Structure 1
Amino acid sequence: MIARARLAATDVLVSRLSFGAAPIAGLFEPVGEEQAYEAVTAAWDAGIRTYDTAPHYGLGVSERRLGEVLRAQPRDSFTLSTKVGRLLVPYDGGGDDLAAGGFAVPATHRRVWDFSADGIRRSIEGSLERLGLDHIDIVYLHDPDEHEEWALREGYPALERLRAEGVVGAIGAGMNQAEMLTRFLTDTDTDVVLAAGRYTLLDQIALEALLPAAAARGRSVVAAAVYNSGILAEPRTGATYNYTTAPDALLTRARRIRHLAERHGTTLRAAALAFPLAHPAVASVLVGMRSAAQVRDTAEQFARPVPDDFWAELKAEGLLGDDVPVPVKEAV
């Protein structure tokens, strides 16, 4: 079983390694039902007990596929997070969702932004129906970048009421940026924020304000997209950084880190997974996985030791700042 950590002052526990369920909904390329089932089952077998999804992922396909596996497990044995802010409205225009949403699934629905109190409740009701579960542990406001005031004025208070009613255990926001997440930490009673790609071996923008704010207020951070969408998994020519082709300078930097990792008997992926957890505010690293093979590899890399000397040399080479927290082995 992978170790777990408690979110802020809540009773919600999360695996230090969490399963991201966007890829099993056909993110960028098709994923069949059997492959998705095997991926989630492999995550369970690897000891992962925290699973993250959203209505946005495959127009509900991610939630349905995740629920198919999790419904067979005792409900108190795992932690589930989903997101609100986009309602799914039936659509009969045909075609697929690749252009509109990035998922290789039939375009059976349209996404409609809705951070109203009614929209939040309707979204959660829809998620519970698709998942086939009786409750959700963590709910995030999903990508409110263009709807900041709406999300803060209506969406967040709605989540706060649901938390007070015991409908959900923890609330927060999930985004691909650090600035607005910092505002959620400082201006609300958010329990946790999900920061995608903003605290990695190549991008530590979250260290400037977000992570200090979380630590100061006793809140938690889930670090997602720790491979920066691919470059830190395999820095090959044409690798992606934040879903676009990586600039040459970043590719060179990632390759230097990989070289040092291999010289110290570990891997770039192991280092990328271990790095965020060195900060005391980070409760979990969240990794999207689309196959059983990816799950097994990720679990293996997560368990792989990363020597202290590697981190020291990373700083000595100027590849990490001197003030950046790094994992340190506990003395025996």
Structure 2
Amino acid sequence: MKYRKLGQTGLDVSILSYGASSLGSVFRNINESEGIKSVHAAVDQGINLIDVSPYYGLTKAETVLGRAIKDIPRDQFILSTKAGRYGEKLFDFTKKRIMTSLEESLGRLQTDYVDILLLHDIEFGSYDQVMEEGIPALQQLKAEGKIRFFGVSGLPLTVFEKVLAKTELDVILSYCHFSLNDTSLLSLLPLSEQKNVGIINASPLSMGLLSSRSVADWHPADQEIRTACKKAAAFCERNGEDLAKLAIQYAVQDKRIPTTLVSTASKKNITKNIKWAEEPIDQELLADVLEILKPVHNKTWPSGNSEWIV
């Protein structure tokens, strides 16, 4: 496993990280024992960053993860969780709720601190509430030693620009913006380097678009994006390859992106993903797939309140 520096945090993070959303049965009902084994397999094979949220499975993911990590020495992994999102449409970025949210997470995770705390999907909250209450809560928790570093997560890249224009962050978590079909996250690199912010890239499969499996009905991508990705998957299959493999390899190859989160509750799948990340990418296949996806390159979908987009 290779490791890279996460901004100015001093943390060396594995290029592939473990996204624990699957432990909350977000994508399918999981076997808890198998989910715990997947966490252990990830750490045993060199993954050292684990990310979760109380939103995933409505606290189930944190609870199962807590049972998994209690058997692992605390210094062997970097733990990231979130606060502010608690349901499909339930968001609360008040200072009081962020403080109590962390305490609840610590209980479920069976630990006395987290390495990283992120405000979750801030584009759905009020800008004023995030900036005047949410960020100060993170600053206080860091000062108290209950978290080591903090940041925000969201889909629109404008949310990071807006927050970084007013305050300092240690980390940002961006998803669906550094993958085969969308590399717009690269536009944020000059600002992140200027501000010494570490970047966590999530969803290299673009929430299932870059896979041979059927795309979930809830996926917000329009038909043009879906069709292009389906065409790329079919092309890979005809050539005896897996689009998901290519997508993971592509996401981890850029040294400017410290780490990429993949989510699975399967020991077999996390082992396969790690193996893929360590294999050299097929440059000819990559060029062909990028050409197929060219018509939808950097095309995304709306997310959140309009005040964050402008």
TM-score, scaled relative to structure 1? 0.78
Contact 1:230 1:239 in 2 (8 A): yes
Partner of 1:198, secondary structure, is: coil
Q: Find the counterpart in structure 1 of residue 259 from structure 2.
A: 284
Residue 149 of structure 1, CA deviation = 2.1
* Alignment partner of 1:175 out of 154, 159, 169: 154
Distance 1:241 1:170, change over 3 A: farther
Q: Find the counterpart in structure 2 of residue 29 from structure 1.
A: 28
Distance 1:310 1:247, change over 3 A: same
In structure 2, C-alpha distance between the alignment counterparts of 1:26 and 1:42, rounded to whole Å? 19
Q: Find the counterpart in structure 2 of residue 329 from structure 1.
A: none
In structure 2, C-alpha distance between the alignment counterparts of 1:262 and 1:15, rounded to whole Å? 32
In structure 2, C-alpha distance between the alignment counterparts of 1:279 and 1:294, rounded to whole Å? 23
Contact 1:230 1:241 in 2 (8 A): no
Q: Find the counterpart in structure 2 of residue 91 from structure 1.
A: none
Amino acid at match of 1:268: L
Contact 1:229 1:241 in 2 (8 A): no
Partner of 1:188, secondary structure, is: coil
Which digits, 9 at most, give the CA deviation of each residue in 1:241-286, with x for residues without a partner?
Answer: 98257625543355347736985x8642232113234445421100
* Alignment partner of 2:119 out of 135, 141, 148: 141
Amino acid at match of 2:249: A
Q: Find the counterpart in structure 1 of residue 190 from structure 2.
A: 212
Contact 1:6 1:12 in 2 (8 A): yes
* Alignment partner of 2:165 out of 186, 199, 204: 186
TM-score, scaled relative to structure 2? 0.83
Residue 312 of structure 1, CA deviation = 5.2
In structure 2, C-alpha distance between the alignment counterparts of 1:71 and 1:30, rounded to whole Å? 23
Contact 1:9 1:218 in 2 (8 A): yes
Q: Is 2:140 the counterpart of 1:165?
A: no
Which digits, 9 at most, give the CA deviation of each residue in 1:203-247, with x for residues without a partner?
Answer: 223233x2332133232211111101112122x5x4349825762
* Alignment partner of 2:134 out of 144, 155, 170: 155
In structure 2, C-alpha distance between the alignment counterparts of 1:245 and 1:184, rounded to whole Å? 26
Distance 1:299 1:34, change over 3 A: same
Partner of 1:119, secondary structure, is: helix
Contact 2:94 2:134 in 1 (8 A): yes
Amino acid at match of 1:306: I
RMSD (Å) for aligned C-alpha atoms: 2.9
Residue 193 of structure 1, CA deviation = 0.9
Contact 1:177 1:196 in 2 (8 A): no
What pairs up with 1:1-332 in 2 under 5 angstroms?
2-86=1-85, 101=88, 113-147=91-125, 148-208=127-187, 210-234=188-212, 238-240=214-216, 243-244=219-220, 247=223, 250-253=226-229, 255-256=231-232, 259=235, 267-311=242-286, 317=291, 319=293
Distance 1:167 1:12, change over 3 A: farther
Distance 1:308 1:29, change over 3 A: closer
Which digits, 9 at most, give the CA deviation of each residue in 1:174-198, with x for residues without a partner?
Answer: 1122221232333321111111112
Contact 1:269 1:301 in 2 (8 A): no
Q: Percent same amino acid among aligned pairs?
A: 28
The structure with the greater share of residues assigned to strand is: 1
Runs of 5+ consecutive residues of structure 1 not aligned to the other structure? 88-99, 102-110, 325-332
Q: Find the counterpart in structure 2 of residue 94 from structure 1.
A: none
Contact 2:9 2:198 in 1 (8 A): no
**Number of matched residues?**
296
Runs of 5+ consecutive residues of structure 2 not aligned to the other structure? 299-310
In structure 1, C-alpha distance between the alignment counterparts of 2:217 and 2:164, rounded to whole Å? 26
RCO comparison, higher one (Cα < 8 Å, 6+): 2
Contact 2:15 2:259 in 1 (8 A): yes
Residue 167 of structure 1, CA deviation = 2.5
Q: Find the counterpart in structure 1 of residue 304 from structure 2.
A: none
Amino acid at match of 1:174: S
Distance 1:73 1:13, change over 3 A: same
